[in-house]
Structure 1
Amino acid sequence: MNDYQRIEKAIVYLKENFKDQPNLDDVARQVHLSPFHFQKLFSDWAGVSPKKFLQFISVEYAKGLLKQNHSLSEVSFETGLSGTSRLHDLFMNIEGMTPGEFKNGGEALQINYSFAATPFGDIIIASTAKGICHLSFTWDKKTDLESLRHAFPNAKLIEQTDALQKNALLFFNGDWENLQKIKLHLKGTAFQLKVWQTLLHIPFGNVATYGSVAGGIDNPKASRAVGTAIGDNPVAFLIPCHRVIRSTGVLGDYHWGSNRKTAMLGWEAAKCFAEH
């Protein structure tokens, strides 16, 4: 059995037996490896540990049950977890929210949103009481508002520019030194949040490669998974996914258009040059 066949067999085993919540020893035994060597091999090939992969499978199954209005105790039992506290920990670790918050789709959450002009085009920006939760370059206001509703289906949306949004918009007017003062309210998997946090450390006017971002989260072989997480960034520009380029020096694709990415990097470089 070669390495690929071992990983394939392990993934199939995890998918078929996740309700039993198998431990590392259980899965390693299926592919005839020691737990230590299996852990390393799986992490190198899949970009995440076997435990994290099992959590992803479990939480996706649990989300399906919650959407069918099963109770938290029922979902815990059906997912193979020992109780609702473990379900809570699983959701907080992977989704960044409680099972109840996922189930109600943001109900009772008020989100203020507004449209604004920037040097790179019009944007829709949205915020909760905790911080900016959404920022996207917009081509069609109606479509972009629907995207916001889809992300927070039961939230109360109010068209209103609040202090959090005003503070964030200052960044487009040259106040780029104060990014750390901008509050963000993000929901995502633990892996996504880790990648987005790493992007915040790329200095203004600089670039990084997908490989260096993967190295920044101590997972140097996860470049492809990092690229997916970067593509899912919900807050354009403030979380600077535009500063990530390919190792060849090619700028690469950008969710909101490669020309816009080029313009952003040029604008930042010019601002840095003007300071020196």
Structure 2
Amino acid sequence: MEYEQTYHYRLIARAIAQIAASGPELSLNALAREMDLSPAHLQRVFTQWAGISPKKYQQFLTADVARTLLAQRHSTLDSALGAGLSGGGRLHDLIVQWEGMTPGTYAAKGAGLTIRHGVCDTPFGRAVAMASAHGLCAIGFTSHQPADLTRQDLQRRWPAATFEPDDGRLQDLVTAAFAGDASALHLMGAPFQVKVWQALLEIPEGAVTTYGDIARHIGHPGAVRAVGTAVGRNPIAYLIPCHRVLRRDGGMGGYHWGVESKRQILALEAARTDPPVSDGVIG
């Protein structure tokens, strides 16, 4: 089962990247040839694992996703999000585990912690993953830089921790987390950072918010810049959805793991929660 999951993760990641690179004229047949699959098989597997058809994903990816989402699905985080937060195992149902990293331990820069690291497959391409004894503590995509640089970037967050190579369990943790496992994460940061990251978990899939909204939601309306810094320091890419934060003017804004990755993720989430916005070529 693990092999099947990682195989499909790689397949979907390749297809997403190909659609993004090729633009709106790419047909299902052409995409299938690139993937060395029959069109019917590609359509079935993509829909099963991405939750939408290749055509629907293409439609959203070629639209001005950020501005459309900000105009139509802007969440202020202050309203009751109960309905949005109960999406059948969606990632915003994940429970943040604070017990394994007290503020004092964080101040000690991870001293006394052992963190395993390795490269794993995700639906958005290869990523460096890290885990403590309490669960996944870091995921960083490698699409915009070599895996070694991503690993070093993440390790700098806890420089006094002991880092060890993966012992074979990380892919299972990553697969479980992307499937919505509420026990899979161990969020480590300063108290203000964790408060911001917890706010990110309240943004439903398909919705977006702004830095100012988060600042008001956590009770620090004047701390927009500090919120932006905390969002950028989120160590667990995608699972803690910092990609759902946009500039107030509708701009995409930054993304620590590459703005193109942010655009692709937002398009996929929007497509899973809305009807098509236009006609596309892919079937």
Instruction: Please report the TM-score for the alignment, with normalisation by the length of structure 1.
Output: 0.55
Matches within 5 A, 1:20-169: 96-98=102-104, 102-103=107-108, 105-138=109-142, 139-160=145-166, 166-169=172-175
Partner residue, 1:249 = 250
User: Do structure 1's residue 268 and structure 2's residue 269 form an aligned pair?
Assistant: yes
**Shift in Å, 1:271:** 2.0
CA contact (8 A) 1:131 1:164 kept: no
More helix by percentage: 1
Are the structure 2 counterparts of residues 271 and 166 from structure 1 closer, same or farther at C-alpha, using a change threshold of 3 Å? farther
Instruction: Pick the structure with greater CA Rg.
Output: 1
The SS at the match of 2:130 is strand
SS in 1 for 2:254: coil
Conserved 8 A contact 1:113-1:127: yes
> In the superposition, relative to structure 1, how do residues 149 and 256 fare at CA in structure 2: closer, same or farther (>3 Å)?
closer
Structure-2 separation of matches of 1:209 and 1:192 = 16
Contact 2:103 2:191 in 1 (8 A): no
What's the offset of the Cα at 1:185? 2.2
Following TM superposition, the consecutive aligned residue runs of length 4 or more in structure 1 with deviations greater than 6 angstroms are: none
Q: What CA deviation, in whole Å up to 9, does each residue of 1:29-52 have, x standing for no partner? A: xxxxxxxxxxxxxxxxxxxxxxxx
Secondary structure of 1:273's partner? coil
Given that residues 214 and 223 in structure 1 are in contact (C-alpha distance below 8 angstroms), is that contact kept between their aligned partners in structure 2? yes
| Shift, 1:162, TM fit | 5.9
Q: Which residue of the partner structure matches residue 186 of structure 1?
A: 187
Give the paired residue count: 174
Amino acid at match of 1:155: A
Q: 1:159–1:201: structure 2 CA closer, same or farther, 3 Å change rule? A: same
Gaps in structure 2 of 5+ consecutive residues: 1-97, 276-283
- Rounded to whole Å, the distance in 2 between the matches of 1:261 and 1:102 is 30
Deviation at 1:255, TM superposition (A): 1.2
The residue number in structure 1 matching 2:90 is none
Q: Is the 8 A contact 1:198 1:213 kept in 2?
A: yes
Aligned twin of 1:231: 232
> Would the aligned equivalents of 1:97 and 1:187 in 2 still touch at CA under 8 Å?
no
Q: Distance in 2 between the 1:106 and 1:253 partners?
A: 27
Amino acid in structure 1 at the alignment position of 2:175 = L
The Cα shift of 1:108 comes to 4.2
Change (3 A) 1:193 1:165: farther
Q: What do the CA deviations read for 1:207-231 (whole angstroms, capped 9, x no partner)?
A: 1111211121022222221111111
Contact 2:177/2:185 (<8 A) preserved = no
Q: TM-score of the superposition, structure 2-length normalised?
A: 0.54
Residue type of the alignment partner of 1:109: L
Deviation (angstroms), 1:171: 5.1
Q: Which has the higher contact order (CA 8 A, sep 6+)?
A: 2
Q: Percent identity?
A: 40
